[in-house]
Amino acid sequence: MTDIGKIGSHRLHAGRIINLDLDEIRFPDGSTGSLEIIRHPGASAVVPLLSDLHGNDPQILLIKQYRYATDGYLFEIPAGRLDGGETPEACAKRELQEETGCTAGKLVFLTSMWTTPGFTDERIHLFMAEGLTAGDSAREADEFIETVPVSLSRALEMIKTGEIQDSKTALAILYVAGFKAGK
Amino acid sequence: MTDIGKIGSHRLHAGRIINLDLDEIRFPDGSTGSLEIIRHPGASAVVPLLSDLHGNDPQILLIKQYRYATDGYLFEIPAGRLDGGETPEACAKRELQEETGCTAGKLVFLTSMWTTPGFTDERIHLFMAEGLTAGDSAREADEFIETVPVSLSRALEMIKTGEIQDSKTALAILYVAGFKAGK
């Protein structure tokens, strides 16, 4: 048996958001060791487009959200964890609706990324949403969110200046800008 | 007392890499609740430039690393956690040297980003390194890394095709490409 990867696993903490495991691992050189890992179901995030992507400086919808982990508010795009059995597409549509009230006419997949592979298996799936229809939001009790429409050029400036400090948000906006540029 | 944020904290797990706390929180509306949070010292990551950024299609140095959390290998840039009291700059230089053997002549700060603010206070500081001098690497026992030189245009293609699936790596490369373009 020379397969690399998991040999054994011990759950250290089963939480509301987080499961923490201590896994026994066989490394690529055949040696073994243990590693703490946060097990995560994965997440989706979506850039809501308020106007035609190929028009002059399209508008997108950011959210400004209280994040305890950062001790303040962050500019982000709508996002959240995959509920049991949910596809990334369904999650993106649901989070968009819950956090902004908008329903997507069309969802375009951008990419999937590991958020921080040193200690978690969280993978985030990035989308953009076109053809939005406004409606009522349905935020959870511990979500404090306001919506902030900005132009794509302003969003790129916010990444450069450090006003946008959330990884998934910066990545997804840079992707959308690449799509617009036809790259 | 109407301050928002931490009211209390209970350490659920003190680990080698990860500390997991259950914190009592006052939310912006004055309500209270609890939240699991991974406490992290922060990290640095660095894009090593092998040739002049403003030359024709500059070369960068990626690493290909075994990541248990992803069940395989990832293309990344050199990165790691801040050791106690270490500045982000010192961490970036140290990780560059340990993982690639290279010493940086000049380090340029790009930006800082929260990696996944829903459950951790991890913040990553992104740099690019110029004027590299080759030397010996000093990898840790559980690091399985090979270096992979690629052109910046090829790295951008790898982000588009999904060959690069690591958030910090994609973000830092997109930043460097923006610097080159003079944006």
Strand partners, B160: none
Give, rounded to a whole angstrom, the gap between the first and last alpha carbons of chain B: 45
Q: In chain B, what residues touch A108 (CB-CB under 8 Å)?
A: none
- Chain A contact for B183, CB < 8 A? yes
Handedness of CA A9, A13, A15, A17 (dihedral sign): negative
**Under CATH, to which class is A43-181 assigned?**
alpha beta
pLDDT of residue B1 exceeding 50: no
Residues 64-93 in B contacting A (C-alpha not used; CB under 8 Å)? 66-71, 74, 81
Annotation says B143 is catalytic: yes
pLDDT tens per residue across span A98-117: 999 999 999 999 999 999 99
Domain spans of chain B? 5-39, 43-181
Over residues A133-161, the mean pLDDT reads 89
- pLDDT, residue B183, reads 44
ipTM over 0.85: yes
For chains A and B, count residue pairs whose Cβ atoms are closer than 8 Å. Answer: 172
Residue B5 and residue B20: Cα distance in Å, rounded? 17
Name residues whose C-beta falls within 8 Å of residue A23's C-beta, 6 or more positions apart in sequence. Answer: A6, A7, A8, A9, A10, A34, A35, A36, A37, B68
Taking the CA of residue A50 as centre, how many other CA atoms within 13 Å lie in the half-sphere pointing to its CB?
16
- pTM, whole model, 2 decimals? 0.94
Of A98, A122, A143, A163, which is the active-site residue? A143
Name residues whose C-beta falls within 8 Å of residue B88's C-beta, 6 or more positions apart in sequence. Answer: B42, B44, B82, B109, B112, B125, B127
Any idea what DSSP says for residue A30? S
